[in-house]
Amino acid sequence: MSRRIDIVEVGPRDGLQNDPANLTTSQKLEFIERLIECGVTRMESGSFVSPRAVPKMADSAEVFAGLNRSGAVRHIALALNEKGVRRAIDAKADEINFVLVAGEGFGQKNQGMSPQESADMLAQCAPLVHEAGIPLSATISVAFGDPYTGDIAKGVVGGLAAQAQRAGVGEVGIGDTIGVADPWLVEDRIEEIRLHAPDVFLRVHFHDTRNTGLANVAAAVKAGVDVVDASCGGIGGCPFAPAATGNVATEDVVYMLERAGFETGIELSKMIDTAKWLSGILGHDIPSSLVRAGMYDG
């Protein structure tokens, strides 16, 4: 099988934003450099959000200023509003990932917006990004369930994706922020977005809170999605989503995909070593299965 699945590494942003450890800017930059050495070519390297709300990302401008830009790596900055978008542009982000929200309760907690207000904010900010000549993507958070208001009604995610398409977004990520998705619901959401926004590329973002993360990745890949978010070591979580644990581990996703014959461009042994290094820097165990079990060469 020669099909390529691209991995977007989210460890430096989504992975670290809710971790109990406080990494220095230099440690974050070393983490990013190690990930690049593993073969990562696209990653969330920081976010331009309120430092009071997400203090772990308060040094994102310094992180972007310290990046080694000599390689062909796309460093993504996450933003929620116009102020964040302008800061990301000033930081010379290679891509801006704007967050839309599918759930009312989570939207108010996370960014002080309803789903429609988040789409309106994207429409307001998109011209700034386009004028700067920076690729614009969007992630629809809590696309499978809101921790405060429950299930997401059919059509909401598709409607947000359609508005993102009209705003000139080239790629839409479907985010399972609290880890409640199952493979069948994943297929339904993908079909819904393709119906409402047929011109956008799709990306998936799963948390393994209820042990369905890898199964959901497999379902998305089977449905034709070619871009998957993952976090080295399986670290991560959202400060505004109670009990939401880490992202699917990059090394676990790569192992599963490459065993099935897909190409990822990630050097698995180096990613496992990086996850082990990360565990030491964080000072606690990490969820990664490959870190516990190791590679299988049978």
Q: Which residue segments constitute the domains of the chain, with CATH numbers given?
A: 6-293 (3.20.20.70)
- Residue 290's alpha-carbon distances to 162, 208, 286, in angstroms, are 38, 15, 10
Which positions are catalytic?
238
Helix ranges (H only) for the chain are 25-37, 60-65, 82-90, 104-111, 115-132, 156-166, 183-196, 213-222, 250-259, 268-282, 289-293
- Looking at residue 297, its pLDDT comes to 77
| pTM of the predicted model as reported, rounded to 2 decimal places | 0.96
pLDDT of residue 296: 84
CA–CA dist 264, 270 (Å, integer) = 13
Q: Are 165 and 127 in contact (CB under 8 A)?
A: no
In this prediction, residue 244 carries a pLDDT of 74
- Short-list 250, 245, 185, 192, CA closest to 216: 185
Over its length of 298 residues, how does the chain's per-residue pLDDT go in tens digits? 579 999 999 999 999 999 999 999 999 999 999 999 999 999 999 999 999 999 999 999 999 999 999 889 999 999 999 999 999 999 999 999 999 999 999 989 888 999 999 999 999 999 999 999 999 999 999 999 999 999 999 999 999 999 999 999 999 999 999 999 999 999 999 999 999 999 999 999 999 999 999 999 999 999 999 999 999 999 998 777 777 788 999 999 999 999 999 999 999 999 999 999 999 999 999 999 999 998 887 7
Q: What are phi and psi of 77, to 5 degrees?
A: -115, 135
pLDDT value, residue 1: 54
> Residue 250: which of 225, 230, 220 has the closest Cα?
230
